[in-house]
Amino acid sequence: MKNILRSCIFAVMAIALLPAGTLAQERRDKEQTYVLEHPYEVTKITPPQGKKIKNVILMIGDGMSLMHVYSAWTANRGKLFLDNCQTVGLSKTYCANKLITDSGAGGTALATGQKTIYHAVGVDPEGRPLKSLVDLAAAKGKSTGLAVTCRLWDATPADFCCHNIDRDAEAAIVADYVNCNADYVFGGGAKLFENRKDGRDLFAELRAKGFQTPRSWEDLVTIKNGKVFAVPYSVDTPLPADRGDLLARASLKGIELLNLNKNGFFMMIEGSQLDDYGHFNDLDLLMQETHDFDRTIGEIYKWAAQDGETLVIVTADHETGGLTLVDGDLKEGKIVCKFSTGGHSGVMVPVYAFGPGAQEFTGIFENTAIFDKIKKLLNL
Ligand SMILES: [Zn+2]
C-alpha cells in the first residue's frame, strides 16, 4: 500500500514538474536577456573593528556561484551589498559519492562538517544522524535559528535540524523539527505540519514543547520573546516581487529574539529559491531572487556592523543551472546569459566573510571546513 501511495505521489509530482521541466529544456542553451529597470542603492558598510566573536550568521544562497553574483552585480549597475565583505575564499562542494552535489549533501557538509551521500540530509553515508551547528551552539547555551524562503522540508533548512538518508521523505523530515534545537524557525511548508497522513499535528507538538507558532507575519511581529516556529505559507513563500523584503524582515525578527540571549546565537539564513529558478533556467526570477538575497545580506551586514561581535559568512552549497554570462552592459544594467543544465554543475563556490574572524575564510578549502572554522571560532 505504501509503495502504491509513493508511486502515485511521484506520478503527481512528475506531472506537476513537467511543464517547468519542459520549459527549462526549451530555454536551455538559448540566450536570455535581463535588464534591471530599477537598480537599488548600495551603501558602504564598515566592518566592526573588535575581535570578539559572540554570534555567527551563516547565509546560504542555494545554487549561487560567482556567475550568479557577477550577473546580479552587472544588472545592478556594478554594485552589490555583498561587495562590503572583507575576505573571500573558495569552497569545494563535491559529496561522498558524487562529484556534483545537491543541497542535501552540500548543506549537510556546511551544517555538520561531514561529506555525506547525494540526497542525504543531516546523516552520514551510513544514515547515522549527525549533530549540526544548531545542536552544537544550543549545547553551549547559545540561541539558534533558521530563516528561509522555501518549504521547510527542503534540503537546506532540513540539513540543520532533520535526519534522513532520503531528502524525498518529506513528511518524515518535517517531523524531525519537533525535536530540533532551533529556537527560531521561519519558512514555508505548513501543509506537511498539519493534516498529515499519520494524524500528527506538528504545530500542536511544537506548542507542547514551548514554541509559539504564528501563522502570519502580523502574528509574528507581535512576539517579543520566547521560542518561535513561524510557518505562514503552505509551501514556499511568495515570488520575490510579491513578498517584498520578507526574508530580510524575517531574519531581523529572528535576530531580535535570538540576541536576547547574552551567550549569543547561531543563525542560518537561506536565499532558497535561487536554486529553483536555476533549475527552471529562468533568468528573470533568478536575478530577482539573487537581488533579494543581496539586499538581505545588506540588512544583516548593517546589523552586524552595529553589533560588533557578529561574524557573517555568505556562501553556497553548489551551483545550479550552469549559468554563463555571455554579454551585457554595466551602464544599462543589462545581462545576456545562457544556462547549460537544468541541474547542478561542478564548480567551487565563493565564501564571503564580514566581521571578526573574517580572515579565517580566505584560501581554497573543502565545504566541510566552513563548519570546522565556525565551530572553532564559536568554541563549540
Ligand atoms: Zn537544486
For residue 107, how many other CB atoms are within 10 A of its CB?
31
CATH topology of domain 32-377: Alkaline Phosphatase, subunit A (3.40.720)
Q: Give the distance from CA 236 to its chain's centroid.
A: 13
Checking if the pLDDT of 6 tops 70, the result is no
Least confident of 17-31, 133-147, 172-186, 280-294: 17-31
**Pairing of β 143-151 and β 265-271:** parallel
Task: Tell me how far the alpha carbon of residue 181 lies from the centroid of ligand 1, in angstroms.
Answer: 26
Task: Tell me how far the alpha carbon of residue 323 lies from the centroid of ligand 1, in angstroms.
Answer: 13
pLDDT at 26: 78
Checking if the pLDDT of 2 tops 90, the result is no
pLDDT at 14: 46
Task: Tell me how far the alpha carbon of residue 353 lies from the centroid of ligand 1, in angstroms.
Answer: 24
Task: Tell me how far the alpha carbon of residue 209 lies from the centroid of ligand 1, in angstroms.
Answer: 32
pLDDT at 28: 83
Beta bridge partners of 344: 320
Average pLDDT over residues 131-147: 98
Cell 535559528 belongs to residue: 145
pLDDT-based confidence at 154, cuts 50/70/90? very high
Do residues 147 and 187 lie in contact, with contact meaning Cβ atoms separated by under 8 Å? yes
pLDDT-based confidence at 21, cuts 50/70/90? low
Q: In whole angstroms, what is the distance from residue 142 CA to residue 238 CA?
A: 31
- Set of cell numbers at residue 106: 552540500
Checking if the pLDDT of 276 tops 50, the result is yes
- Set of cell numbers at residue 52: 570578539
Of all residues in the chain, what percent carry a pLDDT higher than 70? 94
Average pLDDT, the chain: 94
Task: Tell me how far the alpha carbon of residue 116 lies from the centroid of ligand 1, in angstroms.
Answer: 16
Of all residues in the chain, what percent carry a pLDDT higher than 90? 91
pLDDT-based confidence at 347, cuts 50/70/90? very high
pLDDT at 259: 98
pLDDT at 264: 98
Checking if the pLDDT of 16 tops 60, the result is no
pLDDT at 7: 47
Checking if the pLDDT of 195 tops 90, the result is no
Digit-coded pLDDT (tens) for 196-250? 999 999 999 999 999 999 999 999 999 999 999 999 999 999 999 999 999 999 9
Digit-coded pLDDT (tens) for 70-92? 999 999 999 999 999 999 999 99
pLDDT at 215: 97
pLDDT at 19: 56
Q: In whole angstroms, what is the distance from residue 327 CA to residue 348 CA?
A: 22
Phi-psi region for residue 113, left (φ > 0), alpha (ψ -120 to 50) or beta?
A: left
Q: Who's near 307: CB < 8 A, 6+ residues apart?
A: 48, 55, 259
Task: Tell me how far the alpha carbon of residue 340 lies from the centroid of ligand 1, in angstroms.
Answer: 14
Average pLDDT over residues 1-26: 54
Beta bridge partners of 349: 91
pLDDT at 20: 59
Checking if the pLDDT of 1 tops 70, the result is no
Nearest to 247 by CA among 288, 291, 293: 293
Task: Tell me how far the alpha carbon of residue 103 lies from the centroid of ligand 1, in angstroms.
Answer: 6
Q: What is the dihedral of CA 294, 62, 109, 99, to 10 degrees?
A: -130
Q: In whole angstroms, what is the distance from residue 117 CA to residue 101 CA?
A: 9
Task: Tell me how far the alpha carbon of residue 334 lies from the centroid of ligand 1, in angstroms.
Answer: 26
Nearest to 122 by CA among 106, 138, 146, 137: 106
Q: In whole angstroms, what is the distance from residue 319 CA to residue 371 CA?
A: 19
Task: Tell me how far the alpha carbon of residue 282 lies from the centroid of ligand 1, in angstroms.
Answer: 13
Counted residue by residue, the chain has a size of 380
Cell 502504491 belongs to residue: 4
Q: In whole angstroms, what is the distance from residue 349 CA to residue 352 CA?
A: 10
Task: Tell me how far the alpha carbon of residue 276 lies from the centroid of ligand 1, in angstroms.
Answer: 6
For residue 51, how many other CB atoms are within 10 A of its CB?
9
The dihedrals phi and psi of 100, each to the nearest 5 degrees, come to -95, 115
Mapped to the 3 state alphabet, what secondary structure does the chain carry?
A: CHHHHHHHHHHHHHHHHHHHHHHHHHHCCCCEEEECCCCCCCCCCCCCCCCCCCEEEEEEECCCCHHHHHHHHHHCCCCCHHHHCCEEEEEECCCCCCCCCCHHHHHHHHHHCCCCCCCCECECCCCCECCCHHHHHHHCCCEEEEEEEEECCCHHHHHHHCCECCCCCHHHHHHHHHHCCCCEEEEECHHHCCCCCCCCCHHHHHHHCCEECCCCHHHHHCCCCCEEEEEEECCCCCCHHHHCCHHHHHHHHHHHHHCCCCCCEEEEEEECCHHHHHHCCCHHHHHHHHHHHHHHHHHHHHHHHHHCCEEEEEECCCEECCCEEEEEECCCCEEEEECCCCCEECCCEEEEEECCCHHHHCEEEECHHHHHHHHHHCCC
pLDDT-based confidence at 141, cuts 50/70/90? very high
Task: Tell me how far the alpha carbon of residue 343 lies from the centroid of ligand 1, in angstroms.
Answer: 6
Task: Tell me how far the alpha carbon of residue 272 lies from the centroid of ligand 1, in angstroms.
Answer: 10
pLDDT-based confidence at 27, cuts 50/70/90? confident
Q: In whole angstroms, what is the distance from residue 259 CA to residue 266 CA?
A: 10
The dihedrals phi and psi of 189, each to the nearest 5 degrees, come to 110, 20
Task: Tell me how far the alpha carbon of residue 274 lies from the centroid of ligand 1, in angstroms.
Answer: 9
